[in-house]
Amino acid sequence: MHPLEWYVDHADQLAQEVVDRWTAKEQSDRTGTVPNGLQSLFEMATQYRIAKATTEDALQDADLTKTHKLEENAARVAFAESYKAYSERIERGASA
């Protein structure tokens, strides 16, 4: 298992992975069953991606504030913590 810093450093790729997994699940399974924790992880990934896009937009508009970066970093860390917990739960389940 990776330390939290690894998940923070790879948050962009991991968020894309979650979105791709969610999209594939939506396209293949219309029964409404969602793997345990995937929906909340998808929501966290979405919140992080929105915060990142808001920061990037503010940077392009030369309107970037410290608050934008703090919000993006907080969303990044929250997503990384959620992804780490989700991965560990899946790994424990697979090894049990």
R_g (Cα) of the chain, nearest Å: 15
Token output for 43: 């929501």
Nearest to 82 by CA among 36, 44, 47: 44
Whose tokens are 């508009």? That residue is 61
Structure confidence at residue 37 (pLDDT) = 85
Each residue of 38-52: pLDDT tens digit? 899 999 999 999 999
d(CA 77, CA 66): 16
Nearest to 47 by CA among 19, 10, 84: 19
Each residue of 55-84: pLDDT tens digit? 888 888 888 888 888 999 999 999 999 999
